[in-house]
Structure 1
Amino acid sequence: MHHTSPLSQIYLDANATTPVLPQAAKAALGAMEDLFGNPSSSHITGLKAKSLMEQTRLRAKQILGSGQGNIIFTSGATEGIQTAILSALIKAKASLDPNKQYSLLYGATEHKAVPNSLAHWNQLLEIGAELKAIPVDDKGALDLDFIAAEVPNALMICTMAVNNETGVYQDLKALDTCIRDHNPEVFWMVDCVQALGKRPLALAQTSIDYAPFSGHKLYAPKGIGFVYIRDGAPFTPFIAGGGQEGGLRSGTENLPGMAALNQVFAMLLAEQDSAFHSLSTLVDYREQLAQALKRAFPTLVFNHSFDNSVPTTLNFAVPGFSSKEIMDLFDAANIRVSSGSACSSKVTRSFVLDAMGLPAWQSESAIRLSFGPAMTQTEVDQACERIQSAANALGNSCLTLSSGEASADKQPLNGLVQLKSGSSCSWIYADQESKQAVVIDPLPELDQRIDTLLQCQQLEPIAFIDTHGHADHVSGRVALAARYLPEQTSDHLGWPEDHQITEIGARPAQAISLGQYSLVKLATPGHTNDSISLLLCSPQGEVSYAFCGDLVLMGSLGRTNFDSSCAKQMYNSLKLLHSLIGDDTLLCPSHDYNNEFTTSFAAEFRVNPLLNEVINGTISMAQFELQKARLDTHLKDEAGSEIICGAYTGGCSKAKVKEYDSQSLQLQVSQSPQLKLLDIREPHEYALQHELGTLSEQTINVPMTRLVQFVQEHKQESDAEWVLVCRSGSRSLVAAQALHRLGFNKIAHLKGGYALSDS
């Protein structure tokens, strides 16, 4: 499969790693081809290798201003951190007072490699010191008063020169004075990984004992680094063996890595044509990028002050958008950014921004844009242009409001949209013909997203309705109703008083019109005594969707252990709802703990034995009440997704769906012309980058927010061959598993997504 794109990559994730500079790569290759000798060998080939190694060490000393201090080459910063901590703690252990409680101090915004390593060696060496995080202020600066109070009892203090997420730098001179005024003997390590090439370093003029560095953060290959050891600081070899590096670090030296570092050092020292730019140029680049971001996203906030951060890092958040959404958007525009530390990419929020006391939404939505000192003006220009293109795509997809000509490109919204915040769901049903819409279970976190969608699509909301009084969050209904429907009178859930009376299943019911459709209110108490279900009925009287709140959840039933709950009522409500909608109507709950989007009674019968027994009449109301109470007791102390997974054994197991790689998919397409590709990226991603070469004619775009409507419209094609694709394969796998659960038996997905497809 050939995924073609006219856009070249703009790489703005330099704090995670950098490309190897051509000059450095050439030097590394030269070392492999010509200077391949072992530096420990005494013949000419070995002596030449050793000469290169010592030249690299000499240049490192010049750059760091290391004076009489040692420079030891390592595999990278993590090894340097272990070397420093092990050396300091072994020395400290030799003179511990058994009657004294000691501490190990580290910055609260430190890379996790540092506190994790401190904890590891503290335990292994049986020192028993207490690990304490040094607080920071809202600008990320370490609390000197805390250090002054705590450092007298500290065996070691670890700080950072430049933070990897925010670019915030510490005042090393002020730290030096504070630390040594209160404990001249404490061992001090400074993580200098992000400082190299971005901040002046004169280590011999400080009392820093240890400073680790990593080559791949500054255009050298991965697998090479070095650590500074102050003259006189204690040292214990972390790697013992053949005695290389003067017995300080054994193992045959990584000469190609050193050759690359040597070239990078030469450019830093400006001994030859340098790819690196001055501080003033880098500050100018940051300003251009910051202005482009603010033009593209007017509500954007920066998560750090430019006054005390290096110019090569911008950390920001866009209100109303998660970091995942912005990352996917930028990735579609071929801009590479990250959501924080690359070493913790699965973390959903930034502990660094939490430590700085920033609001939770900024921490959860943080994006890090970082570039290296070899960035060029051409790349900055391209990045600024690409950022604007990405923002335009959001506007065309009605995720932001944009003025002007692009409105003709907006896709009209007709049908059901599922929006999520965490595990909670909001539902919007729009009727394009009448330009009317209804919003069900609106979440305050999605207020801006809902508002933007309604305005952009020029939809007239007829009601904002909750399916019950939500215990786990405040409803966003009141604010939206006040904005759009100030004159409307309704009950406490938002159901309009101005409604009609209709019949459903020979029962009288209240209804409101939505274009040619009608939304019917059905009392379904149980989870709470005010719980309702809303049935969207076609002109022919068929129920298209049942918005059931927390009555039926994927793999479970709503809890009935609240004060306003009643299991007996739930028993009757389940029977009533099933009698009106049958096995196959899609249920749209207000929570989706397991990324399963939607369900039906038929799908639930396969995983939910209690529900099966209720509907099939094999359990009495009294028996149901007992079993439900038992389940609710089991769930009482659980949280998050465990609420669902703990209810029914196997209820959360995921189907193993078929996976294709690029080549096998291409072959399958040639053999099965009826196969359809389903691109589940959001419209803004698809618009920015959607060419699929020879497969484009067989591809349709159905974003995950519209997946429930896709299921409804293609129920009769559940036996067809569908292959889901997305950017990385993660979303397509989740969606494929959900569709398989709903009876799409031949569903598959493209493993690795577009990211690993042939280009």
Structure 2
Amino acid sequence: MTEQQQLSQIYLDANATTPVLPAAAQAALATMQTQFGNPSSSHITGLQAKQIMEQTRSKARAVIGATSGQVIFTSGATEGIQTAILSALYQAKQNYNSENKPCILYGATEHKAVPESLKHWNHILDIHAEIKAIPVDKDGMLDMDFIAKEAPNALMICTMAVNNETGAEQDLAKLEQVIRSNNPNTFWMVDCVQALGKVELDIANTSIDYAPFSGHKLYAMKGIGFVYIREQAPFTPFIAGGGQESGLRSGTENLPGLASLNVIFDELLGQGRGVFATKETLCDYRDQLAAALKNAFPTIVFNNNFSCSVPTTLNFAIPGFSAKEILDLFDAANIRVSSGSACSSKVTGSFVLDAMGLPRAQSEAAIRLSFGPAATQTEINEACERIAYCAKALGHSCLVNMNDLDNKSKLDGLVQFKVGGSCCWLFVDGQSREAVIIEPLAELTERLLTVIECQGLTLKAVVDTHGHADHASSRAHLLSADLQAQTTDHLGWPTHCGTVIVDNHTLPFIDVGRFALVRIATPGHTADSISLALCHKTELQAGKFNSLYTFCGDLILMGTIGRTNFETSDATQMYHSLQLLQGLLEQDSLLCPSHDYNNEFVTTLSAEITRNKLLADVLSKRLTADAFVQQKSELDSHIHDQANQEIMCGALTSCSQKQHFTELNKDTLQNHLDSNEDVLLIDIREPHEYALNHAQQFDNNVPLTRLANFIGSQLLNKSQPLVLVCRSGSRSSVAAQALARLGFDHVAHLKGGYALSN
């Protein structure tokens, strides 16, 4: 399986790693082929190898201004960090004699390798110092007052020269003055990984004790780095053995890595081929990229202050879009960028941006674009063109305003948007172009307004299922003039509407084109909690209550039941609401909750009963209301809301259990297709992604935002063989898991996706 159109790669993730410079790769290859000697050997081949090593060491000193002290070659920055921390803390333990409890300081935005290493060696060496994070301001600059206050009792202080996520550049001279005026004897490590080649270093003329560096961040091979150790700073070997590196770091030296590093040092010293751009040129590149981003995404927010960061890093968020959405969009255009958040089932933000005090949604949506000094004007020009193309692709999908575009895709059915674990639902009747929005989220306001305008939709209502504790509703910002004149309750439900009698319950409803949205009072999670059932209007008028989708708020969540320990909660009412909902719905009716913490999208009563004993006991009436109240109180006691993160609306009773589905690779895919004549091959990517790399529209496209709609349309056809594909296999795996959990029994996905199938 291949993409119909291949675009050349634009690599803008240099802070993660860089390609090896061609001259550096050639030097490494030559070393492996012809100068492969062991530097510890005394014969000519060994002496030639040793000369390469010492040349590289000499150039390293020149690059960082280390006229004194030690330069020891390592496997990379992590080993250098370990070496520095072990050496400093081992000596500090011997020296410390104050009556006050000792502390160890590190910058709150440091790479995780630093605090994790500090915790490790603090424990191993049995020091038990208090490890404290130095706060930063909104630009990522360290709090000097905090350092001045804590430094007198600090065994060690760890800071970084340049931050890997934001490019924030610390004022090392000012930092040194604050540290040394308050504690001239504390050990000071400066992580210089992102500074190499971007910041002028004169390290010997500072009181920095340790400085780790890494080669692969600046076009050298992976597996090579070095650490600077100030003269007279204590040193304890991290790796003992054969006594290489003058007994400071044992192990046969990585000669190919050193040869590659040698070439990089030549470039930095002006002795190479002149492939590294000046700082002025790099600033110009940043300005061009920033302008392209602003033109493409007018609402963009930059998370780093350009005036106090190196020019090779841009960190931004686009309101209304998750980091994953923008990553996938850029990747489809063959632009490689990265996210500030980890990929996990529960979305997390960037701890760096959190420490800077940025809004949580901004942190979760953060994108890092980074390039190196070997970037060229041609690459920047191409990147700017691709960025504009990305915006155009979003315009075709009506996700940004580009009203001059023709042939925009038309929405029909249910769309699920997510911000963190919160869900927002948009239902569109494709025939009448009437729509409703359920659970409007503030982060999606502009995006939803754009979709409404671009699609020419008529909003019939914007409704919340209850007053949410974890976010504010954006309902008021989405109302058209007609809706603003509409009389509603506090959740947005229209006061004047029709009613229908179902099982002796009089239920209000509103028209949405060919459909009806029925309101069901289901208190418990909160006193005002409701559920909204979407039915075919003709069936409802004929006395048939058959819900296509039931938006149940936080009454039933995937893997749990909504919490009942809010001020207006009532577990007894929830008990009766659960039984009411069961009486109205079929077991396989789709439930669309307000939250999806494990990427399960939608659920059904039958799927939840199999893994949630408490729910099963309520619906089977094996449990009395009083017993439910008691067990629910115990369940709610396990809910732990986290600072700076969303309030959890339910305690998970079970983790998402892995369901069986078939994993295919590029070798087994064709056999699978040949053996299943009626198999449906489905692209899980968003339309704006595959539009960038396909000359024609993919026949079967079911993006994750439309997966709930697809499930609803296929509930009576669960035996249909399906093969799901996406870019990397991650989303197709998630979708396959969700389908298998709901009883789709012939689901397969392409492991590695398009990325590994070419």
Q: Report the counterpart of residue 534 of structure 1 in structure 2.
A: 532
Separation of aligned partners in 1, 2:572 and 2:176? 69
Alignment length (residue pairs) = 748
1:56 aligns with 2:56: yes
Structure 2 counterpart of 1:660: 664
Residue 511 of structure 1 corresponds to which residue in structure 2? 509
Deviation at 1:609, TM superposition (A): 4.2
Deviation per residue, 1:708-757 (Å, 9 max, x gap): 11112122321011112222222222221111121101112222222222
Q: Following the alignment from structure 1 to structure 2, what is the Cα–Cα distance between the partners of residues 344 and 181? A: 44
Q: CA deviation at 1:91?
A: 2.3
The TM-score, its normalising length taken from structure 1, stands at 0.93
Distance 1:550 1:190, change over 3 A: closer
On the 8 A contact 1:608/1:651 being kept in 2, the answer is no
Distance 1:104 1:415, change over 3 A: same
Q: 1:601 aligns with which of 585, 605, 610?
A: 605
In the other structure, the counterpart of 2:460 is 462
**How far apart are residue 336 of structure 1 and its match?**
0.7
Question: 1:565 Cα deviation (Å)?
Answer: 4.3
Q: CA deviation at 1:9?
A: 1.1
Q: What is the aligned partner in structure 1 of residue 638 from structure 2?
A: 637
Query: Secondary structure at the residue paired with 2:749?
Result: strand
Structure 1 CA distance, aligned partners of 2:498 and 2:344?
Answer: 54
| Residues 182 and 516 (structure 1), Cα distance of their counterparts in 2 relative to 1, 3 Å cut | closer
Aligned-residue offset at 1:249: 1.0
In the TM superposition, 1:87-166 aligns within 5 A as 87-97=87-97, 99-166=99-166
Find the counterpart in structure 2 of residue 181 from structure 1.
181
1:685 and 2:661 are equivalent in the alignment: no
Give the structure 1 partner of residue 622 of structure 2.
619
Which position in structure 2 is the counterpart of 1:354? 354
Instruction: Work out which of the residue numbers 528, 542, 547 in structure 2 matches 1:543.
Output: 547
For 1:575 and 1:518, locate their aligned partners in 2 and report how far apart those are by CA, in whole Å: 23
The residue aligned with 2:523 is 525
The question of whether the paired residues in 1 share the 8 Å contact of 2:618 and 2:628 is answered with no
Change (3 A) 1:492 1:272: closer
Maintained 8 Å contact 2:345/2:598: no
Conserved? CA contact 1:164–1:341, under 8 Å: no
Q: Is the 8 A contact 1:567 1:625 kept in 2?
A: no
> Per the alignment, in what secondary structure is the counterpart of residue 283 of structure 1?
helix
Bigger shift: residues 348-357 or 548-557: 548-557
| Matched letter for residue 626 of structure 1 | A
Identity of aligned residues (%): 60
Measure the CA separation in 2 of the matches of 1:369 and 1:565: 45
1:340–1:367 CA contact under 8 A, matched in 2: yes
Distance 1:218 1:269 in 2: 14
Is 1:588 aligned to 2:586, yes or no?
no
One-letter code aligned to 2:153:
N
CA contact (8 A) 2:660 2:740 kept: no
Q: Could you tell me how far 1:457 is from its partner in structure 2?
A: 1.0
Write out per-residue CA displacement over residues 132-159 of structure 1, whole angstroms, 9 at most, x where no aligned residue.
Answer: 2222222222233332332232222222
Question: Matched residues in 1 for 2:424 and 2:277: separation?
Answer: 49
Of the candidates 670, 675, 683, which is equivalent to residue 674 of structure 2? 670
Partner SS, residue 737 of structure 1: helix
1:363: which partner in 2? 363
Change (3 A) 1:632 1:234: same
Paired with 1:596 and 1:604, the residues of 2 have a C-alpha distance of 12
Which 10-residue stretch deviates more, 208-217 or 477-486? Answer: 477-486
Residue 439 in 1 paired to residue 431 in 2?
A: no
Quote the Cα distance in structure 1 between the aligned partners of 2:342 and 2:257. 22
TM-aligned CA distance change 1:579 to 1:503, over 3 Å: same
Q: Measure how far apart 1:195 and its partner are.
A: 1.0
What's the secondary structure of 1:78's corresponding residue? Answer: helix
Q: Distance in 2 between matches of 1:210 and 1:338?
A: 29
Report the Cα distance in structure 1 between the residues aligned to 2:650 and 2:276, rounded to whole angstroms: 53
Correspondences of 1:178-327 after superposition (within 5 Å): 178-327=178-327
CA contact (8 A) 1:461 1:484 kept: no
Question: Which amino acid counterpart does residue 663 of structure 1 have in structure 2?
Answer: D
Structure 2: distance between partners of 1:666 and 1:750: 11
The corresponding residue for 1:708 is 708
- Which amino acid is 1:227 matched to? V
Distance 1:479-1:520 versus aligned 2 partners, 3 A rule = same
Where do 5+ consecutive residues of structure 2 fail to align?
Answer: 541-545
Indicate how the Cα distance of structure 1 residues 564 and 229 shifts in structure 2: closer, same or farther if over 3 A, else same: closer
Deviations 1:378-434 (A, max 9, x none): 110110011111111122212222232x2x231111111122222222221111222
Shift of 1:592: 2.4
Alpha carbons of 1:344 and 1:175: their partners in 2 closer, same or farther (altered >3 Å)? farther
Equivalent of 2:582, from 571, 578, 584?
578
**TM-score, structure 2 normalization:** 0.93
> How big is each residue's C-alpha offset from its partner over 1:109-168, in whole Å with a ceiling of 9 and x where there is no partner?
211211222222222222232222222222222233332332232222222111111111
